[in-house]
Amino acid sequence: MQKKEVIKFLIFRSVGNFLILFALYGVIATFGPALYYEASFRISQIRGIKYTVAAESETSPLGELLKKQRNQGGGLASVLIGPREQILRPIDTEFNILIPKIGANAKVFPNIDPSDENAFLPVLREGVAHSRGTVFPGSAGNIYLFAHSEIVMIYQGTRFNYTVTRSAIVDPDDVSFITEAQGGPEQLILQTCWPPGTTWKRLLVFAKRK
């Protein structure tokens, strides 16, 4: 009888340990990326790192340069021990976003359905998603990205500069800025989770073309 109790205890303990590890994995998978980027941002602030976007002359022809040289300001190691002046070069000249204030540099995937998790979740692991039905840089209307001072976008080899005008926190089911994308002055809208790593609300950042 005592042996059975010991076996039962070991089984329960093993199952309990597995559940704890599974829960920890879930927390890390959910909040890990947000915490990583937040830590990188805070460290870069403490170190006084300044990011600038490569001049157009430095990225011409962009496609050939990018085959040889990646972003200088990427990775935690660069934030920790890299130079205080770092240059951001687009990862992809077809569609890319750069935000010098936070050292962000990401490929943008076009025409992603924002209502289909199976479509956008894999994309968000690789970069930033451009919402299907919204316009592209250089066109009138809303450019809606979901994944802040100056923002630089590269689209089909051309550079577009934007300045942030305001931000707003909205409900996750508010799609008015997507459905009203056509017409009006060009406006860039960035969407992210709020609070970071959750799906409770959406933080929208609005920017106008310079």
Q: Where are the domains of the chain?
A: 3-209
Please give the pLDDT value at position 145. Answer: 93
Query: What is the percent of the chain where pLDDT is above 70?
Result: 75
Q: Which CATH class is domain 3-209?
A: mainly beta
Return the top range by mean pLDDT from 11-15, 62-66, 85-89, 136-140.
136-140
Digit-coded pLDDT (tens) for 79-132: 677 788 888 888 888 999 988 888 888 899 999 998 898 898 888 888 899 999
Residue 55, pLDDT above cutoff 90 = no
The least confident of 68-72, 86-90, 136-140, 179-183 is 68-72
Range 142-168 average pLDDT: 86
Strand partners, 96: 107, 154
Q: Does the pLDDT of residue 30 top 60, yes or no?
A: no
Looking at residue 36, its pLDDT comes to: 65
Q: How far is CA 98 from CA 6, 44, 175, in A?
A: 59, 16, 24
Q: Which residue has the tokens 């300001």?
A: 73
Mean pLDDT of 177-206: 83
The per-residue pLDDT for 104 is: 84
State yes or no: pLDDT of 68 exceeds 60.
Answer: no
Decide if pLDDT at 149 tops 60: no
pLDDT of residue 10: 73
Supply the mean pLDDT for the chain: 79
Question: Could you tell me what percent of the chain has a pLDDT over 90?
Answer: 22
